[in-house]
A and B are shown apart, each in its own frame.
Chain A
């Protein structure tokens, strides 16, 4: 992709939200060398909601953190919105700015900041991307409202249930209108009903906000929610897999 400015530019709505080309991740060296990811090549369009499946230790978190610009790959290329962001372990852009402006993360545990209320947890994400004041507050409340937890906006995370916390985390991840939403086993702490609700929420978000969504999950029952599934086994990525439903 030549001719693309090297900083975070307005997303091109035709380029895929995320694209990896031959991404390989090797942990350690010599005797302790572990190849966690082998030549992973994939593409997620905007508005596409994709599940990432695979047994434990297959490299799911590794792929997610590489795509999330948290853990650089050893080899291969990562493109976001059509722009080459990582080439091998080298960042070609201001990674922090990309994280701030293009990416949203949701973790297995909700990972909210314990001393901030639900609302403030969303506001802090907005503040990080430079949005403050009344409009930011309105946006945060809207997000919490659309996730059905506006009533708990002024509670600290410790006063929220696991599901509510996870929804605050989702609101926070969506705050800066990311073009790519990444979630690593977001429903592991939730019961199956709530888990399914959260998955459906991802689907809605992906479709409505036209964001690419990549969700690592073990939950077989909610797979019908996804447009597509990716399968990882021993570091090797394959299209499709158990419970695949074509969207």
Chain B
């Protein structure tokens, strides 16, 4: 005869209410773990998706994600001639905040090296990758932009041609993919007046120099857009990604590039570590600590509940002992009830979480490993929590029935 099930059935309402409460608590523990995973995964998502063997960034910076990095775009050409390099692509990233429908819209813009990279690797849920060199964008679902929608960035209007899922920047903002040229245009957009002033200044400088007087054609050139002026320099990109030929030795290639005085070269893994130790480190540690606290609090609350559940039955337990019940019977009653409560709460936590987590603003990633870990934790808490009750139950004297 199973006493635990009968007791639970007798107090079904209270048991269920307790289980729901505990379930919600466990759900929060689960969610906290999921948020932790989400932050970590979002942080390194782009680095992992880009899958570059080497990242060339501005000398002595930890860019392009952890801090700002500026490179001349021609580093791409330099990299291509290094033996062992299969391909080199420029990479541009920066975050903008605009207003849309009266609400701030934060976009992490990523430049794709058109035409080699059209974003065919992006996890699209609708639409297509970039199809032309300008004025198209692939946006993440979290930005709330639909295929066909047009959005004005800088002086140009960009049409959303594709929507991705789970493409989140390390700051938690949705990613939008443009060609590198467009990404630069958005980044270095300046108003007409600033441009006019800059051009006038250029003209003034040229006029003040001999070369301006001897070569009037130069004065004409000074009126052109900055990008058309060789003297102003090639546009600056954030980084150059390098992929190696099969069999090429990564350290050799890196050694060759180390001679360039203006760059620092990281491997993909180093770039990943930079991200984890950099921008998300505090958030990660904060949530990690909070999660530890939550587990501890849940353990205490659960133990208390299990303990009071046993106390409620102490009279019945004394009676059973008086009738000569063996320790196992009482042990079983308390422990089985604890497992029943823990089990129901765990299942509730899982299913409530499944319904609720997708509505969180940032990704909540529940992994199997985490579920197993939590199951073990609940199991352990049940054992520890009820051992307190069992200790009390074992000590209760049968003559307490008489009082």
The interface of chain A, by Cβ under 8 A from chain B, is 61, 65, 70-71, 96-101, 103, 105, 107, 111, 113-116, 120, 123-125, 127-129, 132, 156, 172, 184
Contact = CB atoms under 8 A, between A and B. Distances in A.
Contact of A115 (B7, B323, B402): B7
B6 A129 contact: no
Nearest to A68: B322
Given A98-B324, A115-B11, A172-B323, 15 more contacts: A65-B399, A70-B322, A70-B402, A96-B324, A97-B324, A99-B323, A100-B324, A114-B316, A115-B316, A124-B1, A124-B320, A125-B323, A127-B329, A132-B1, A184-B402
Interface in B303-359: 316, 319-326, 329
B17 to A, nearest CB: 17
Contacts of B398: 70, 99
A116 B320 CA distance: 12
B1 A115 contact: no
Given A70-B402, A71-B399, A115 B9 contact: yes
Interface string B103-140: 00000000000000000000000000000000000000
A101, A120, A125, A128: residue with the most chain B Cβ atoms closer than 10 Å? A128
Contacts of B3: 113, 115-116, 124
A128 B402 contact: no
B324 A107 contact: no
Nearest to B4: A115
7 contacts: A107-B401, A113-B316, A115-B3, A115-B7, A115-B9, A128-B323, A172-B323
Given A113-B316, A115-B6, A156-B10, A128 B325 contact: yes
A120 B324 contact: no
B200 to A, nearest CB: 91
Contacts of B1: 120, 123-124, 127, 132
B10, B324, B326: residue with the most chain A Cβ atoms closer than 10 Å? B324
Contacts of B316: 113-115
A89 to B, nearest CB: 14
A62 B57 CA distance: 89
Interface string B174-215: 000000000000000000000000000000000000000000
A129 B324 contact: yes
A71 B401 CA distance: 12
A111, A115, A116: residue with the most chain B Cβ atoms closer than 10 Å? A115
A128 B319 CA distance: 12
Contacts of A184: 402
B399 A70 contact: yes
Nearest to B315: A111
Which are the 10 A-B pairs with shortest beta-carbon distances? A100-B324, A115-B10, A99-B324, A70-B399, A115-B7, A128-B325, A96-B324, A113-B316, A71-B399, A115-B6
Interface of B: 1, 3, 6-7, 9-11, 316, 319-326, 329, 397-399, 401-402
A123 B3 CA distance: 11
A185 B309 CA distance: 30
B319 A113 contact: yes
B169 to A, nearest CB: 56
Contacts of A105: 322-323
Contacts of A127: 1, 329
Nearest to A101: B324
A98 B324 CA distance: 8
Contacts of B322: 70, 99, 105
Nearest to B10: A115
Contacts of B7: 115
Contact of B10 (A98, A100, A114, A125): A114
A68 to B, nearest CB: 8
Contacts of A61: 402
Contact of A100 (B6, B9, B323, B401): B323
B263 to A, nearest CB: 75
A128 B10 contact: no
A128 B324 contact: yes
Nearest to B399: A70
Contacts of A172: 323
A99 B325 CA distance: 9
A128 B1 CA distance: 10
A150 to B, nearest CB: 19
A156 B11 CA distance: 13
Contact of B320 (A101, A103, A128): A128
A160 B277 CA distance: 69
Nearest to A105: B322
Nearest to B329: A128
B187 to A, nearest CB: 71
A28 B335 CA distance: 36
A226 B10 CA distance: 39
Nearest to B6: A115
A120 B5 CA distance: 13
B311 to A, nearest CB: 15
B326 A116 contact: no
Nearest to A98: B324
Contacts of B397: 70
Contacts of A113: 3, 316, 319-320
A96 B326 contact: yes
Contacts of A115: 3, 6-7, 9-11, 316
B316 to A, nearest CB: 5
Nearest to A136: B1
A96, A111, A113: residue with the most chain B Cβ atoms closer than 10 Å? A113
A47 B194 CA distance: 116
Contacts of A98: 324
B224 to A, nearest CB: 90
A65 B398 CA distance: 10
Contacts of A101: 324
A72 to B, nearest CB: 10
A96 B321 CA distance: 8
Contacts of A128: 320, 323-326, 329
